Chains A and B, each alone.
Chain A
Amino acid sequence: MSMKRIYVKEEWCLSCHLCEYNCAFANSGMTDMALALKGKPLYPRIHIEGNESVTYAVSCRHCEDPLCVRCCIAGALFKEDGMIRVNQDKCVGCLTCVLVCPYGALAPNENGVMQKCELCMTNSAGEPACVKGCPNRAIVYEDRG
């Protein structure tokens, strides 16, 4: 369906990893970034990938026909208004979704339970924090239908 999704412009990515920090903070439920993140291992829902010549951020593609949802053995992943969401209460951490996501976009949280990009619609940020905080506008939030 036509909706805004997160896209990257790899030629503009500086690999500064700020998106990872902004993501983890937005989903921490805390108001102080230092308290939320400092000295703790980061479990962001977006991550930087790349090599010597190219870097870019990877997060859920919110696929039209999501393999992760179809393959979830716990019925925990679901699609709502085009967005792929996870019911963490149902997830048993089997990682079948990690096994099938073609984009390598999924990773569990610190407790082994799946978490994922929900476009900051289910936290208090209200708009994708990775996009908002990207200093070089290498991550955009657009409807590419």
Chain B
Amino acid sequence: MNRYVIIGNGVAAAACIEGIRSTDPAGSIDVVSAERHDVYCRPLISYYLEGKTDLSRMRYRSQDFYDSANCSVHRGRKAVRIRKDAQEIELDDGSVLPYTALCLATGSSPFVPPFEGLDTVENRFSFLTLDDALALEKALTPESRVLIVGAGLIGLKCAEGIRARVAQVTVCDLADRVLSSILDAESAGIVQRHLEEHGIRFCLKDSAVLFEHDRAQTKSGASIPFDVLVLAVGVRANTSLLRDIGGETDRGILVDSCMRTSVCGIWAAGDCAQGYDLSTGTKRVLALLPNAVMQGYTAGVSMAGSSSSFDKGIPMNAIGFFGLHIMTAGVYEGDLYEEKDERSLKRLYTKDDLLKGFILVGRQERAGIYTSMIREKTPLSSLDFEAMRHMATTAAFSSEARRKKFGGVV
């Protein structure tokens, strides 16, 4: 009988369990969960603080998920090492779990730069886990002045989530714009103005470098007083378990399209994994929930001995702030088609007869058609692209392509 062990208990792990059970109803599954919670929707922690969801609705799966999948969950436990020759892992309480197939779904950890004086700050938080959000919530008062270091996805969602609960939210970042990993300067400008209209203050191109209790000093010498500090500078994939046994790692754990690592009997999935990015043709960490689910499921099926592969990962984001929606996908290179006004923007990038990427701010209608064209590498010459630049529509596809999409079971 197979013995499956999954290290981690986020959505990649949940999908891995489902992948295993789709193929093997009998093998044992052990889940090692550093967090004490059942699997929850991690991207919803800001919605929790905003009051748009609650702990019960944040569950990713039903309460009987682990029981019905016949899993043992080791809560509050960490894996400390893999003994690859013995095919077992050792936990922090000294116990040992043997495996025939192991999945690393260890996620990522906040990256905290060595800021001077950080130790002097009492109210200091990360914003990656539910426990981070619950701890931050306890520290917030209507009088709080909150400083968030990092104007990326995590920092800005945090800012939105707490804005109505505190007196002041300031976001600082070394980058010259918000969401610098997914937006260009112009689209970032629209988003920043929108956030500012909703009371978020920014200090860009000039991040905090020094902390002294309740005061941050920026690179340019400005001083920002605060009561609560949130560090959202970035994350790093948790790769050490595999790296320590000589497995191949880069920014993440390197995996093939079946999510196998370089070490026999070990798979990896989710934010810790570095798999194929179809949009660049290289292996990249795509720390996004959809990617984690696809990778986790693929890993599970593969671990259980069936063939499964996932090679259609691309960077893609749907994110909104105070009612302004942003959607992005792929890479921004090639010829540009653009529509814009003061509050919205659409940019489509085409190259070599392919749609390579897009940025939509304040526009989202039927964006999935564009996304699928990137994922499926649909030749633009096979459709009337001009007719779908203003508004995505399957009417621009050939009648044969449309028959395939709409004529049968897909």
A: residues with CB less than 8 A from B are 5, 7-8, 10, 49-51, 54-56, 58, 61, 63-64, 67, 70-71, 73-75, 89-90, 92-104, 106-107, 112, 144-145
Contacts and interface: CB of A to CB of B under 8 A. Distances in A.
B385 interface: no
Interface string B158-184: 000000000000000000000000000
A124 to B, nearest CB: 26
B225 interface: no
Interface in B27-51: 41, 43-44, 47
A103 B317 CA distance: 18
A90 B53 CA distance: 7
A99 B358 CA distance: 11
B399 interface: yes
A99 B368 contact: yes
B395 A95 contact: no
A56 to B, nearest CB: 7
A51 B294 CA distance: 35
B408 interface: yes
A99 B364 contact: yes
A97 B289 CA distance: 12
A99 B323 CA distance: 16
Contacts of B368: 67, 97-104, 106
Contacts of A8: 406
A70 B293 contact: yes
A124 B316 CA distance: 37
B139 to A, nearest CB: 24
A56 B290 CA distance: 30
Nearest to A51: B395
A4 to B, nearest CB: 11
B393 A104 contact: yes
A62 to B, nearest CB: 8
B97 interface: no
B222 interface: no
B409 A5 contact: yes
The 10 closest A-B pairs by CB, nearest first: A104-B366, A102-B372, A71-B290, A101-B368, A99-B318, A96-B318, A75-B60, A73-B43, A104-B369, A95-B318
Given A94-B320, A112-B323, A64 B409 contact: yes
